[in-house]
């Protein structure tokens, strides 16, 4: 399908169509002042005449603006003109997690543990720091940067949950990743994202979906009433993790904190101490300086271990308050956990959420 290029937002040019979804298009663009490449999500204002769509967009914008985490795509700017809204985001050239999944072929275990650790870190932040359900966690919404780190994108279905951890009743997300409570159209909350991540883990581990059918009606019946068939050859700890995440009852489903403490993720730390996997890409200094009104946002790179991937927001606030981390527009620093506290050093080549050694930097 050919897409007509929309008018460009002030200060940017639209260059190349990337994709579409819902009532939006995504284009690769250029920030004219800095000549830096960005991703620009374009939403026609005519699509927002319906109250449901308008509220959904307002909710997406509010949540995305508040989501500051190394594994969530940053929202640089929001521009509008008479025709469109434009959400300007980081451009990630590494494709999606779906590009790394091949039908019938299991993903490398270390690679899978690497991605899952980062996804859990981001979900834990959304759930427990922002009180947000993403509600559309799937490989297509997980982008990969040039250093092989993930960014969660697309907050179009996201919503905040109330004091009893439930969201409004809705049917949303993608059918193969939707939880039983979404199909049952009952109040739901954080466990819907855990279910979706469980589907992703199953898909990465086997190359197949736990539930699959061309008929949505049959698919919903399977998700509501059937247990997934877990291959015998999978690691026993991985089997336990999948079963815990794909529990039909939301209240018995694992939480982010329990996933972080799962034997399957802990064994990655214990068995692969010398593996360096991840590097949070430092945002371009000039790019961040020229996007106005973003000086209060802190971009940070932080070293995580499997049991400790949940400190993101509170840590950022502490670092800001202590003056130990520079805001956007200044040279980023790495933050590394040591037994006696936090140390910083200039942003370098590679850090790993799985393989933190307690005494600091690897040789």
105 exposed, middle or buried (CB, 10 Å; 0-12, 13-18, 19+)? exposed
At residue 346, φ and ψ (nearest 5 deg) are -60, 145
Q: How far is Cα 193 from Cα 126, in angstroms, rounded to an integer?
A: 10
Q: How far is Cα 249 from Cα 329, in angstroms, rounded to an integer?
A: 46
Q: How far is Cα 299 from Cα 284, in angstroms, rounded to an integer?
A: 11
**Side-chain half-sphere exposure of 65, counting CA atoms within 13 A:** 12
The verdict on whether 136 is a catalytic residue reads yes
At residue 138, φ and ψ (nearest 5 deg) are -160, 160
163 exposed, middle or buried (CB, 10 Å; 0-12, 13-18, 19+)? exposed
Helix axes 263-271, 236-245, angle to 10 degrees: 140
Looking only at the bridges linking them, the beta strands covering 24-31 and 12-21 are antiparallel
| Catalytic residue selected from 77, 99, 124, 136 | 136
Is residue 325 within 8 A of residue 300, CB to CB? The reply is: yes
Over its C-alpha atoms, the chain yields an Rg (Å, rounded) of 20
Is residue 235 within 8 A of residue 268, CB to CB? The reply is: no
Q: Tell me, what DSSP letter sits at residue 129?
A: T
Q: How far is Cα 294 from Cα 288, in angstroms, rounded to an integer?
A: 8
Which residues have a catalytic role annotated? 136
């Amino acid at each position: 399908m050919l897409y007509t290029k929309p008018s460009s937002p002030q200060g940017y040019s639209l260059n190349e169509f990337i994709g579409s979804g819902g009532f939006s298009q995504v284009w690769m663009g250029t920030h004219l002042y800095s000549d830096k490449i960005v991703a620009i999500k374009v939403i026609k204002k005519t699509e927002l005449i319906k109250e449901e769509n308008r509220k959904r967009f307002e909710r997406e914008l509010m949540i995305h603006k508040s989501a500051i985490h190394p594994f969530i795509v940053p929202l640089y700017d929001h521009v509008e003109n008479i025709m469109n809204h434009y959400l300007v985001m980081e451009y990630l050239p590494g494709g999606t997690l779906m590009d790394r999944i091949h039908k019938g072929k299991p993903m490398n275990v270390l690679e899978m543990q690497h991605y899952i650790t980062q996804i859990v870190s981001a979900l834990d932040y959304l759930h427990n720091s922002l009180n947000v359900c993403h509600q559309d966690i799937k490989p297509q919404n997980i982008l990969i940067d040039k250093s092989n780190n993930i960014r969660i994108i697309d907050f179009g279905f996201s919503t905040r949950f109330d004091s009893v951890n439930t969201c409004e009743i809705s049917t949303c997300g993608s059918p193969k990743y939707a939880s039983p409570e979404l199909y049952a159209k009952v109040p739901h909350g954080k466990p819907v994202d855990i279910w979706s991540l469980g589907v992703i883990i199953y898909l990465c581990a086997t190359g197949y979906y736990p539930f699959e059918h061309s008929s949505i009606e049959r698919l919903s019946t399977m998700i509501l009433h059937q247990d997934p068939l877990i291959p015998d050859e999978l690691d026993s700890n991985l089997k336990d993790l999948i079963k815990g995440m794909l529990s039909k009852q939301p209240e018995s489903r694992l939480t982010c904190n329990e996933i972080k403490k799962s034997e399957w993720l802990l064994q990655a730390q214990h068995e692969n101490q010398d593996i360096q996997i991840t590097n949070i890409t430092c945002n371009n200094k000039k790019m961040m300086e020229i996007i106005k009104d973003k000086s209060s946002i802190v971009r940070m790179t932080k070293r995580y271990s499997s049991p400790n991937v949940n400190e993101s927001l509170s840590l950022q606030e502490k670092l800001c308050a202590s003056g130990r981390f520079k805001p956007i527009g200044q040279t980023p620093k790495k933050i590394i956990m040591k037994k006696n506290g936090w140390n910083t050093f200039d942003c370098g080549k590679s850090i790993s959420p799985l393989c933190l050694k307690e005494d600091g930097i690897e040789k």
